Amino acid sequence: MTPTILWFRQDLRLADNPALHAATTTGPVLPVYILDDAAAGPHAHGGAQRWWLHHALAALQASLRARGLELLLLQGNAVTLLADLAARTGARTIHAARLYEPWARARDASLAAALATTGRSLTLHSGALLHEPHRIRTGQGNPYAVYTPFSRAIFALGEPAPPLPIPALTAAPAQPGLDLPALALLPTRHWADAFPKHWTPGEAGAATRLARFGTAELAGYDTQRNLPGLTHGTSGLSPHLRFGEISPRQVWHAARAGGAAGPHTFLKEILWREFAHHLLWHRPEMPEAPLQKTFENFPWQPNPRFLRAWQRGETGYPIIDAGMRQLWATGWMHNRVRMITASFLVKHLLQPWQDGEAWFWDTLVDGDLAANSASWQWVAGCGADAAPYFRIFNPVLQGEKFDADGAYTRAWVPEVAALPAKFLHQPWAAPRPPQGYPPPIIPHAEGRARALAAYAALKQAA
């Protein structure tokens, strides 16, 4: 029988995979994954994502092999490789989950055109989101630019369809490809050695995370999500969603089975992810350019020393440094601390938000182009639905509010761990400041004044 090609991309799972279901209806399935860094350009997987991808592909390989299928691994130009593969095997159709990044949309259009010349087709399926971005419109027929009405509109649509089970699979003849190590996804240095202590990439790892979070943790999510010192205050599902090892429908329905306040708050976080993709679909310039055009002339003050101290977690503000060190050690940072650290970079230090976005992209295992760029623009005050720029977090007060007992800060900044709570978030004020820990890179009052002055200059120039 003629095979059908299933092109895995950001849907590295077998359950609730509409593209996989569609592929099984037309004959034996030939699953393929292609590492196409050139097409993605500056948005190719960052270092931490590449570590995750290696292990996610290994997990997918094992799942497919258990069902008699072999995942074909290729590297290079996906348009050329898929067109050649279809011609060689006689496949008439390629099924894939829809992607939303501008570069991926352009590549899909090129592939569809190339296949059409030989009477073949590319069929895209929804699978990464609850709703397709181009189908969600305001009452006036426009894309949404503000999160709250967007989320209300999604809730008003009712419950998403239930997740699909894993279908019966018939294997197509295997094709020559690469071994997983040949993709060279793992880092050659040892900075990611601790990642396995924190993460289990793959569909099974995602299911385990969801099952754990679907009980007591979800019930307390409404308040616990803001406390970085809690081990299980958040779901930890973001990298699994990023690589499609679990679908938003699976997460949504599991959350609905939880308690009262927590699940609704958690579902709003799922919808923030949807909103970010909605913005990216309609504003493809979002990863590089401010959505509010007035910010194109913002008077940033690029300073390599400031940026490097922030990246290394050596700013002298314990809550900032704890977050940046957690990021480097685990490939992840608590969401509340992401906001605090990002605000500090773009406001106190006046560094361009794109520099922070690039660092997060390279170091986050859950680096997602839509969510990363939308969140940085939100913090920088230049997004479609942004926090005002003049909202400037006080890093001392933020630490005292969200890490009052110091569990998070003491774990990641051992230099200050012995300080009493009174001085933990302002160690320079202690009678004996800790040795080996830097003083604040800039005093809070000075950083705040600089930020407000820059914003005033922007408004005056507008």
Q: What is the DSSP letter of 68?
A: T
- Please, which residues bridge with residue 191 across strands? none
Query: Using CA of residue 81, residue 82, residue 86, residue 89, what is the dihedral sign?
Result: positive
Q: Find, among 230, 207, 217, 225, the residue nearest to 258 by Cα.
A: 217
Residues ≥6 apart with Cβ < 8 Å to 4: 23, 24, 26, 27, 28, 29, 30, 91, 92, 93, 94, 95, 172
- Alpha-carbon distance of 161 to 176, in angstroms, equals 37
- What's the pLDDT at 215? 67
CATH 3.40.50.620-classified regions of the chain: 4-127
- Which CATH number applies to 293-461? 1.10.579.10
The domain covering 4-127 belongs, at the CATH homologous superfamily level, to HUPs (3.40.50.620)
The whole model's pTM is what?
Answer: 0.97
- Alpha-carbon distance of 402 to 399, in angstroms, equals 6
The CATH architecture annotation of domain 129-162+202-282 reads Alpha Horseshoe (1.25)
Q: Which residues are catalytic?
A: 269, 272, 300, 335, 353, 376
Mean pLDDT (10-residue bins), the chain, 462 residues: 95 98 95 98 97 98 98 98 98 98 98 98 97 95 95 95 96 96 95 96 96 78 90 92 98 81 84 97 97 95 98 98 98 97 98 98 98 96 85 96 97 97 97 95 97 93 72
CATH 1.10.579.10-classified regions of the chain: 293-461
| Contact between residue 416 and residue 424 where contact means Cβ atoms under 8 Å apart | yes
Identify the three-state secondary structure at position 95.
strand
- What's the pLDDT at 261? 55
Q: Which amino acid is at 87?
A: A
